[in-house]
Structure 1
């Protein structure tokens, strides 16, 4: 350890002791104040503030900060040492600088954006642009209140080379457990730009595998809550993720950042509950095994049910159907509750079309029928004698019910059934020509599903679109911000629907087109998303640097893209080297060769330094069969399927599509042979997803011949088991 490093370490050890003492002092003062449990509102607010500070101090104590930046503001004659942490820590002395600056504060942006050099820098603060000079940038690792590491990434005037990647590489080299962790201490400049972007825009983020896009989106939520605390609330934010297990995997990040109450759902669960159709949902595993079960197929086209039902064309058809139903409105009948009492059709139509035109169609129907009921009550008051009034009231009640049944049903499911012919359009509202472009195969299969009382995930966006068209969106259902993860698997219609549930187009839409393995329902180009918004309502960002895997694994995965996917964006790895990828042929003679080789591969990887090892198969059925074979040999093995709500870590076997978004210390691809994966672009994307789950080690098993996009991987791989 050099003298400069030793000096920096001693300096930071002294500083840490001082900060920890201050945290202890402030905690002691707060704990000395009796907790208020009364009913006085003012005192309740004060107590809530004190409890929030108690919790923040206790959370800060093990790791009060992670960085230091010495910044000399323009017009001042010396730099100030600013310590950056997950939570701010105020100095109780009036007029003093904070002891720790919150990472989301404007000045902290310099810690992430500054990469060296002696040029002047600036940041945007509420009071305007503030400029100055950076004298020192230092990464500091504190764990359990103990100083572990000090790395200077910039020292002004120093002749020693910058070591800006040393701290990052140190953190990346750590093994993973069963949870995604925050990256607040290692946020890179391009990631910070996304995190701090304006709220009222739809951010579209194309991020290669391992670029940290999910984590960046979660940090963006924490930033928005800090920056716009008077305009947004955590309870009005939502994250849409691909499955419940992935939600569990990312669940620790926001609490680590001091953020709670943000909703985390799958689109399917949220939409089905909103419309109360959970019991009608078909098992998604049927669709998944249908699409992933065959190798060598052609990637689904626009006539695939999910692609068509999620398209802008189908949205226009739904618009036409909803508009036709809304226009049909009030039945062309006058209403007579009894003889000599008549409410003209023209009056009813005026109420529906004019007086209540600002309501949804269903809302207008409700209000018109309520107004008719009030009109009946008013008319009854003039009827005499009492005996006649009772007779008229009984007759009016029966006629009122009969009249209400003549109104159209504004249920989205009813209209959807009529569109596909699963329910007869008795009023002749929907012109058949409007739906002539729906492929016959889709009409046939959807009609059969609907008649049997079953809806599929691909139907939910359309049903929800009709729901908001016919029923409107309640204010309490609107969000301040929406995050869509794995957005390449969303359809344009899904995003179009969600745009009606969020204020100001406030989205963070993130994904990777090269991981678009759900091509039967997702987008093939980001323009399908951006075209939904106005010219100045979107912002596109590309994250091309991968922080997850070693150079060898990234090189191997890039070779797959180069050989199998047109115009794919390749990942740029950080300089972290490891073992070459293992290509292991288990042959085709022995029908159990693959199972035996997987067993050997697990023995070669599990139980060493790796905490998480996964075996990836093409389908859920294959994963289940392999699990039955391996479980007696490896009792600790976990089987992961679509019903899982938690990822337990350790040793697991799972279908490739469920691995998206997850990462493991080591990955074993059970069979990447030509028989399993074929040579289509879709197959290449699936193998790319599987390979890029690995952080440190990747073993690719195959029975016989490999797909063509695995032919040019010699530079990154070795053949056979290690000696």
Structure 2
């Protein structure tokens, strides 16, 4: 076996050296071509192509490829080795097979979909389904042009068993830094199926913690740009993430895949930009504190909660009804007279508004009608008997046009929104029956906010929708594809609204209901999302395999879901074993000293990222102050920063969602901080599943019922010996 490995290593080293030499030769040739800076369009296009080639060759030089697949097409065609990389590299000789095949190419899908066995494999090519036999599947690790690792996960002609998970476990065991990385060398078959799914579909992905759903979505963007390059552009794609820090955390993945210019935003930023609003929203940290930190006084999670109601399709329909009612009462109930003796009948104005300009949105219709009235005035002015009279009429007409325009409704989203909630005078045609749809709690809290000129995040979908009904949307506001991460925290209203701004219902909607800690505004079931689309417009995928944490951590976290949430959305761990989860009571030693002792022991293992998770932001700040004063280099994550700094950190558990750390210390895992409520169980589940390698649960007094009361197969009590 050792001899076979040595032979394979030598073969791959020889091939790598040849590939590097060829890439260097091509790169040097393109670099020797002078850069064109003139104004000839044809030459500019050619120069853009050359620059793209320079960049792709330079990118592939350090790590040309990561996999090899030996494939023989049915029909007796010659078996050939296919090398798969992040960037495709062609041979310059006509007719020669590619030096490296782009991972997004149809034939490269075999590398991900083939999981072993003697049966033929197939992939879908532009010319149809291609079938054949896979003889070898090999994973290759190259770093800075040095061959580091060669692992065969399948060899049809070998005498050794396949080791399909060995390479994956090796990559998962690497320590974490401060950025999410691409998984192009370890994409699994179920992930590849999502990545290569058809474009004009609303994909809904339920992925357990650590299933790679965020990374899969980013790889899907890269695939769509490769596969549909004539129909989509990076500038017309957008990723919606929960906060700026998370956007920073995932920011390296797309550049690593050779993709740039994709928009990245939070829903709040996008909505404020559409509305041209610069009104400061209440500090999000205050909202989170209200829901997560006032444990005793926490509101019940019913549909009467403002965030749930304002995120509902019922509220969206109510807004549309109100705007339609406003449309019926738009044209002032009088004729227009620019001066005595001249009259434009209201019936004529109504015909313009309701018939001729009907295709336009409401605000545009008003603009068209007022412009038409102005043109009518100009025609009437030509009938003046003399210049003096014409001047007199023109002055009077200008004043009356302005006065008449003021009698129309004010087509501004915030004004109409306030009218809906009676913060301003409500039009008589808006019945009390219509407003009775709004729950009393929602009505009162929103009235109070609007009277104080306060807008909340939950008001933004409604305001953007009103803006859309009034103005439609411009072509530069339309997207070719939308990715929504942590979608369980989005509302159905938000999804339905975004669907108005994307072509062909082209969505990748991903999240985890078990991490639905924002249930006061998010969804409780994926049916709330899928029901927004026709059956042939949507597809549902479930990613149940977790690649992040060790088997011990996953089984421990699953226990929290089973006992505390009664959920069957459990993770299936990759067989990567590690230390058991530690349950450590504070005993007679202070909470601070216990946390310091735990931190010392984990830092001694030279993990790159160690995190302490507290229940509240206040506790995180207090602990950060204590540890910093004690000489620890640890930073506080409080939701205010736009960059994720990596390293060692302390943060409230509800801000940890989406992040991952080598080791995690959960402070205060007891009933004083986490009661037996389903929501608290989800919070602890989120905290536990942030850990890649080690999880320590520190507690005092009684622990919640969904945590194990004693040590077992996956958890032990006490400090390490």
TM range (shorter): over 0.9
Q: Which residue of 2 aligns with 1:717?
A: 715
Q: Which residue of 1 aligns with 2:346?
A: 345
Give structure 2 stretches of 5+ with no counterpart.
none
Matched, 1:631 2:628: yes
2:78 and 2:288 map into 1 onto residues whose CA distance is 63
| 3-state SS in 2 of match to 1:715 | coil
Matched, 1:397 2:398: yes
Offset of 1:487 from its aligned partner? 0.3
Matched, 1:596 2:572: no
2:73 and 2:514 map into 1 onto residues whose CA distance is 44
1:559-598 alignment, distance < 5 Å: 559-587=559-587, 593-598=590-595
1:571 and 1:278 map into 2 onto residues whose CA distance is 42
1:19-168 alignment, distance < 5 Å: 19-168=19-168
Task: Tell me, yes or no, if the aligned pair for 2:305 and 2:441 is still in contact at 8 Å.
Answer: no
1:377-396 alignment, distance < 5 Å: 377-396=378-397
Offset of 1:327 from its aligned partner? 2.2
Q: Deviations over 1:54-75 (max 9, x none)?
A: 0111110000000010111122
Moved more, 261-270 or 465-474: 465-474
| 3-state SS in 1 of match to 2:377 | helix
Task: Tell me, yes or no, if the aligned pair for 1:299 and 1:682 is still in contact at 8 Å.
Answer: no
2:652 and 2:366 map into 1 onto residues whose CA distance is 48
2:139 and 2:674 map into 1 onto residues whose CA distance is 45
Q: Which residue of 1 aligns with 2:175?
A: 175
Which of residues 683, 690, 695 is equivalent to 1:693? 690
Which of residues 656, 661, 666 is equivalent to 1:659? 656
Moved more, 193-202 or 297-306: 297-306
Task: Tell me, yes or no, if the aligned pair for 1:241 and 1:265 is still in contact at 8 Å.
Answer: yes
| 3-state SS in 2 of match to 1:529 | helix
| 3-state SS in 2 of match to 1:674 | coil
| 3-state SS in 2 of match to 1:272 | helix
| 3-state SS in 2 of match to 1:708 | coil
RMSD: 1.3
Matched, 1:194 2:187: no
Q: Which residue of 2 aligns with 1:305?
A: 306
Offset of 1:635 from its aligned partner? 4.1
| 3-state SS in 1 of match to 2:582 | strand
1:402 and 1:347 map into 2 onto residues whose CA distance is 19
Q: Which residue of 2 aligns with 1:491?
A: 491
Q: Deviations over 1:148-195 (max 9, x none)?
A: 001111111323100111110110000010000000000000000000
Task: Tell me, yes or no, if the aligned pair for 1:517 and 1:686 is still in contact at 8 Å.
Answer: yes
Q: Deviations over 1:250-274 (max 9, x none)?
A: 0000000000000110101111121
2:245 and 2:631 map into 1 onto residues whose CA distance is 22
Q: Deviations over 1:181-233 (max 9, x none)?
A: 00000000000000000111100000000000000000000000000001000
2:300 and 2:580 map into 1 onto residues whose CA distance is 30
Offset of 1:299 from its aligned partner? 5.6
Offset of 1:566 from its aligned partner? 2.2
Q: Which residue of 2 aligns with 1:671?
A: 668
Task: Tell me, yes or no, if the aligned pair for 1:299 and 1:680 is still in contact at 8 Å.
Answer: no
Offset of 1:424 from its aligned partner? 1.2
1:267 and 1:500 map into 2 onto residues whose CA distance is 14
Question: Aligned pair count?
Answer: 719
1:253-264 alignment, distance < 5 Å: 253-264=253-264
| 3-state SS in 1 of match to 2:200 | coil
Q: Which residue of 1 aligns with 2:458?
A: 458
Offset of 1:340 from its aligned partner? 1.8
1:659 and 1:269 map into 2 onto residues whose CA distance is 21
Offset of 1:277 from its aligned partner? 2.2
Offset of 1:448 from its aligned partner? 1.2
Offset of 1:294 from its aligned partner? 3.1
Q: Deviations over 1:534-561 (max 9, x none)?
A: 1211100000000000011001100100
Task: Tell me, yes or no, if the aligned pair for 1:222 and 1:259 is still in contact at 8 Å.
Answer: yes
Offset of 1:627 from its aligned partner? 1.2
Offset of 1:119 from its aligned partner? 1.1
Offset of 1:338 from its aligned partner? 1.0
| 3-state SS in 2 of match to 1:279 | coil
Task: Tell me, yes or no, if the aligned pair for 2:69 and 2:83 is still in contact at 8 Å.
Answer: yes
Q: Which residue of 2 aligns with 1:681?
A: 678
Compute the TM-score of the two structures, normalised by the length of structure 1.
Answer: 0.98
Offset of 1:76 from its aligned partner? 3.3
Offset of 1:298 from its aligned partner? 7.4
Matched, 1:334 2:335: yes
2:311 and 2:408 map into 1 onto residues whose CA distance is 30
Q: Which residue of 2 aligns with 1:289?
A: 289
2:34 and 2:228 map into 1 onto residues whose CA distance is 32
